[in-house]
Structure 1
Amino acid sequence: MKFPNQIIKHWSALIGDELRYSIESRIFNSVSIFATIVASINAIINFALGLDLYGYLMFPLIAVLLFGYYLSRYKDKLNIAIGIFAITFNLLCGGTYFAADGSNGVNLFTFIIIIFILSVVTPKKQFWIWIPLNIIFLAILLTIEYLHPEMVKTIYVDKQHKLIDTAQTFFEVVILMSIITIYIKKNYNREKELAKKRLVALENSNQTKNRLFSIVAHDLNSPLSSIESHLSLLNEIDISNEEKIEIEKQLLSSTRQTSEMLQNILSWAKDQMDEVKVNLSSISIYETLKHTVSLQKSIAQEKEINLIFLAEKDLKVIADPDMLQLIVRNLLNNAIKFSLPGGTVKLSTSSLEDKCILSIKDDGIGISEDQLPFIFSLKSNATYGTNKEKGVGLGLKLTKTYVELQNGKIWVESELNKGTNFFVSLDLVTS
């Protein structure tokens, strides 16, 4: 497999890569290379058949082919290269038409392949110039031959020489047309498959957006309505201090949930509109995450959950600090959300060969087996936390995206009613 791959790689370098060069340019470059080889073979055969003049004619033709290839491949001037190709081959075929048996000679085959090549590689604007001109030119030659058959001469010493030249030209034309047709068909099928994949990706993206907007419309309304009703109670009704404190706690909880929800939505929306920029650098796990963990600890304490952070202070990874903080915040928030009062959430780190493994483990309600395959997508069913906390389900989707952008991996282990453990693997700084 290595040898064919090397050939494909070198051939791609000769004709130009698919990202930079159009299919017309690549076909023209391929034809130029193939025609140069054919012209070289023709020169040898013509000399062998005693057709020295036609053998020598191949040398300027080869020079023109190589010049056209140079213009198309290295100067990105396909239109000029096509013009030179069309004029040169028409002059060559027209100049030798009557001296080489006219319509009974090989030039008719050459006209066919010229028109075929120009039909394939010529841009739309030039198509209506070169194709009609070629057809008109050939029609003129055939008309002159019809009216003045005495002008037609033969260059062959006998029928055997003519047969060899005709057969050679015929097979060259058929092979070249077959190669171009196969190349076009291959590119067409590739573009067709890419179009199908783009359509599927677009449909999935639209489904994701529709589901997200549907969830957002519902879930933003709920906490905002709750905040509004709590504020109305505080303003309109005389309540005790204990009730006031309880309402304030509920207000804080609703505001925090809404804030986290909006942060994830804004992060996701920004990623959809702009190319995500990742600033990878060598960072300390402990120094990067200690503030994030501290904020989550206060949330955990309100729910009477013990949050433990165990990380070596000299442990360093290759990561984007902002992305890593968002990842850990979402995972810790998720663990707290689905843990019962009195439970424990532990964030710990360990090293395995050249990887750093972050573990966020809780002893909460766990995830059912049928939901695990969809846990990092918006296809998972919406669930409420142990204190009726609710989110759009976007946190884990964002988390997976951001982990993979940092060349990391994320996976989960969970058992219903026993707890969940999320793992994040990042490149470890070893020196």
Structure 2
Amino acid sequence: MNKFRKYWKLFSHIGAHPGMSYIDFKRVYMINLIALLCLFPTIFFAILNLIDQRYILSAINFSNSTCAFTVLVLQYYGKYNIAKATLLTSNSVFFFAGALLYRNGGEYFLLCTLIVAMLMYENRKIHIVLCITIAFLISLLYLLPDILPPSQQVPRSRSVFNIINALAFIVVAVNFFLDIIYKNMKKIEQQRLNLESMNRDKEKIFSIIAHDIKSPFANLEALVFMFRNQMLNSTTSQEYIQQIYQQIAQQNQALDDLLQWGSSNMQGMNCSTSKLLIKPIIQHIIKSFNDNAQSKQLKINLDIPPDTQIIANRDHMTIILRNLISNAIKFSYVNGNINIYVSVDELYTHIHIQDEGIGINPLKSAALFNEVQQKSFGTEHEPGSGVGLVLCKDLIERNKGIVNIQSTPNKGSIFSVGLPSSPAHITQTKVELPSCC
């Protein structure tokens, strides 16, 4: 059985190549199927009619099988148009001849030929010409008298058999192309959804650029203007130099995040995931924020077992955690604590980032992850990192994760990101907003 499938696939794909469009491949495939369906039955009936001493009908059947073989050869050499014309012409001639001489129900196969031709050609002029031709041939079959006596015609049972086969072929051919149409519609719909997603990502990127990157560069321009015009004395210049350094560092981080996000979009919506140890990633991020934390005398407490793992994209997780930790530092009060710890349930490993800061109004927390927020400054007037929580939500969703906010104004917030603990736990993404304490 496997050998039969192997050879059937080999013959049915004659002339097909990887560079073909989906429609062209299916047309080549269908021509091959029709040629194969004509080849073997016509050889069988050629032998059967030869035994029954219907020599002319046997010759017609044999000629039809020869033309079907010729079609396969033309397909193999890429002569697709000639193959189509040969298939349709030979079938029309031989089906008409058999029906005219032996009344074997060949007119129904002429209808099959017409339907196949309309499916194979897109030119409506060809449709009209073929329709007129087939209608004319069928009319002749009913108008012309019998050429051979009834004793030499095929049995009625064989005519019925041919009619049933012709009708079955019509159903199969129509459903074959309906399947192509529906699959194309699904592909078009998927492409439309992908384009909409790409447009949304583009709008997010432009919003972030306009909202979080343009404004700090304007501040930098103002500071450089003051330096150029010597509007700052030596005492205050050091403070402004530190501000410039922080803003440049923040914008460099923001641009890096945007470039990584844009790169992932260009490579498609799917992201490659793997098992990741959480603690080393967070330790590296904390180290990069040491200066910021020390300037506010913050204590960052990391309580994560060394073997804690998640299933996620490493670059995405770095962006997510860097932004959440940056926000925790930004909105924490001086001398406060930032606690980073994990909890595990049946589906997710949750990373919790808790700060002792200004908190979030419950009415505003629901919109944090859905739209770019107005420019905000931290407790010591620090500028934002630039990318924001909209990007975090997008990347969390791509990694099949969830996010939750618990916040109390003037007391602090807990941002919790849940990622799958194992490949079996990857489920439909959802975002939980909010759960206020």
Normalised TM-score (structure 1) = 0.69
Alpha-carbon distance in 2 for matches of 1:365, 1:14:
72
Where do residues 251-266 of structure 1 align in structure 2 (5 Å cutoff)? 251-266=244-259
Q: CA 1:26 to 1:63, structure 2 compared with 1: closer, same or farther past 3 Å? A: farther
Q: Is the 8 A contact 1:216 1:392 kept in 2?
A: no
Structure 1: tracts of 5 or more residues without a match: 1-10
The residue aligned with 1:3 is none
Alpha-carbon distance in 2 for matches of 1:179, 1:211:
48
Normalised TM-score (structure 2) = 0.68
What is the root-mean-square deviation in Å for CA atoms of aligned residues?
5.2
Q: Is 1:216 paired with 2:209? A: yes
> How far has the Cα of 1:176 moved from its partner?
3.5
Q: Is 1:386 paired with 2:388? A: no
Q: Secondary structure at the match of 1:217?
A: helix
Compare 387-396 and 88-97 and name the one that shifted more.
387-396
> How far has the Cα of 1:262 moved from its partner?
1.8
> How far has the Cα of 1:27 moved from its partner?
6.2
> How far has the Cα of 1:120 moved from its partner?
0.7
86, 89, 94: which is aligned to 2:88?
Answer: 86
403, 412, 426: which is aligned to 2:404?
Answer: 412
Q: Is the 8 A contact 1:32 1:66 kept in 2?
A: no
> How far has the Cα of 1:216 moved from its partner?
1.9
The residue aligned with 1:114 is 113
Q: Deviations over 1:304-355 (max 9, x none)?
A: 4332222333445565544433332122113223333343322224555796
User: Match for 1:333: what amino acid?
Assistant: S
Where do residues 238-277 of structure 1 align in structure 2 (5 Å cutoff)? 238-239=232-233, 241=235, 243-274=236-267
Alpha-carbon distance in 1 for matches of 2:9, 2:404:
43
Q: Deviations over 1:231-282 (max 9, x none)?
A: 33345135362x3343234333332332232222222333333458967666
User: Match for 2:206: what amino acid?
Assistant: F
Alpha-carbon distance in 2 for matches of 1:80, 1:302:
80
Q: Secondary structure at the match of 1:341?
A: coil
Structure 2: tracts of 5 or more residues without a match: 1-7, 424-437
Q: CA 1:76 to 1:416, structure 2 compared with 1: closer, same or farther past 3 Å? A: farther
Q: Is 1:311 paired with 2:324? A: no
Q: Is the 8 A contact 1:15 1:26 kept in 2?
A: no
> How far has the Cα of 1:117 moved from its partner?
0.3
Tell me the number of residue pairs that the alignment of Structure 1 and Structure 2 aligns: 405
User: Match for 2:87: what amino acid?
Assistant: F
> How far has the Cα of 1:398 moved from its partner?
3.9
User: Match for 1:111: what amino acid?
Assistant: L
Q: Percent identity?
A: 19
User: Match for 1:100: what amino acid?
Assistant: Y
Q: Secondary structure at the match of 2:233?
A: coil
Q: Is 1:236 paired with 2:230? A: yes
Compare 52-61 and 325-334 and name the one that shifted more.
52-61
Q: Is 1:292 paired with 2:285? A: yes
Compare 411-420 and 178-187 and name the one that shifted more.
178-187
408, 414, 423: which is aligned to 2:417?
Answer: 423
Where do residues 93-242 of structure 1 align in structure 2 (5 Å cutoff)? 93-101=95-103, 106-122=105-121, 152-154=146-148, 156-157=150-151, 162=156, 168-185=161-178, 187-189=180-182, 191-192=184-185, 194-196=187-189, 198-199=191-192, 201-203=194-196, 205-210=198-203, 212-234=205-227, 235-239=229-233, 241=235
Q: Secondary structure at the match of 1:411?
A: strand
Q: Secondary structure at the match of 1:290?
A: helix
Q: Deviations over 1:12-59 (max 9, x none)?
A: 99989xx98734544664686689779989979x979x7976689768
